[in-house]
A and B are shown apart, each in its own frame.
Chain A
């Protein structure tokens, strides 16, 4: 793998190598204490991961109450299975896999259509090439990340089919590597890459269309007021 100048991921808060090593070490120590009977150490692990797991579950099932039930189920299963955790993957990958399986089981049982029609995603990249609108890229970051901007980001991701959404959240929000995402989702790396490519393009298109429309509306207001 060649590290090109495009690899801004190296600075992602969860990807920074030294941070990752420190977290893995902290997790290993806490796991050893839990197995030795120290429940406080398990609460440390819960404290460390509950926000991220809840976010992942919320994005997968799209319902806060269901996500809360699955969050409880995930940590209970993790506690019960901790002794069998062999350390073949990191604790976070293992934990996210438990959460993902719980969410997929819920969806298969309650909304099977959301999994069955997973491949129904089309993006502009399926069409002949024409340039992206400029308004999205020229919008300052503080506006893109304002309350309104964040709502649009959430909506754009929520519009994706569940497996695309999950892959994008695991890679781009949680910062897992492609290999880790493939383990968590029980998919091949090639499938993860393909879904990620389409999910990112779809989100980009939704956001670009929104900022283009917003810019047009603003220009119309300016023209009217003259």
Chain B
């Protein structure tokens, strides 16, 4: 019988779909009956979800212009 800590150690792999069907089933059965682990899993999933949406890839316009000018100048003499 697995302990709560052992289930929690698999949550990251579970989120990534890296576990076997049997292991997924064991986790899902455990989560249905163990509220501390369900909370642990939910908090990990929430953390990953907000990280995936929370960091912008916006780039300042002046940085775009500088990169464009740099590449135009440096690549113009290069022939692939």
Contacts and interface: CB of A to CB of B under 8 A. Distances in A.
A8 B45 CA distance: 9
Interface string B57-76: 11100011011101110111
Interface in B36-62: 36, 39-40, 42-59
Nearest to A80: B78
Interface string B19-42: 111001000100000011001101
Contacts of A95: none
Contacts of A28: none
Contacts of B54: 144-145, 149-150, 153-154
A153 B51 contact: yes
Contacts of A5: 28
Looking at chain A's contact residues, the main secondary structure is helix
Given A34-B80, A50-B67, A207 B59 contact: no
Given A157-B55, A197-B9, A208-B43, A72 B67 contact: yes
Interface residues of A, number: 66
A178 interface: yes
A225 interface: no
A183 to B, nearest CB: 16
Contacts of B55: 55, 59, 150, 153-154, 157, 169, 173
Interface stretch (A18-26, A86-94, A104-112, A125-133): A125-133
A96 B65 CA distance: 21
A137 B56 CA distance: 22
B5 A39 contact: no
B67 A203 contact: no
Interface string A177-196: 01000000000000001001
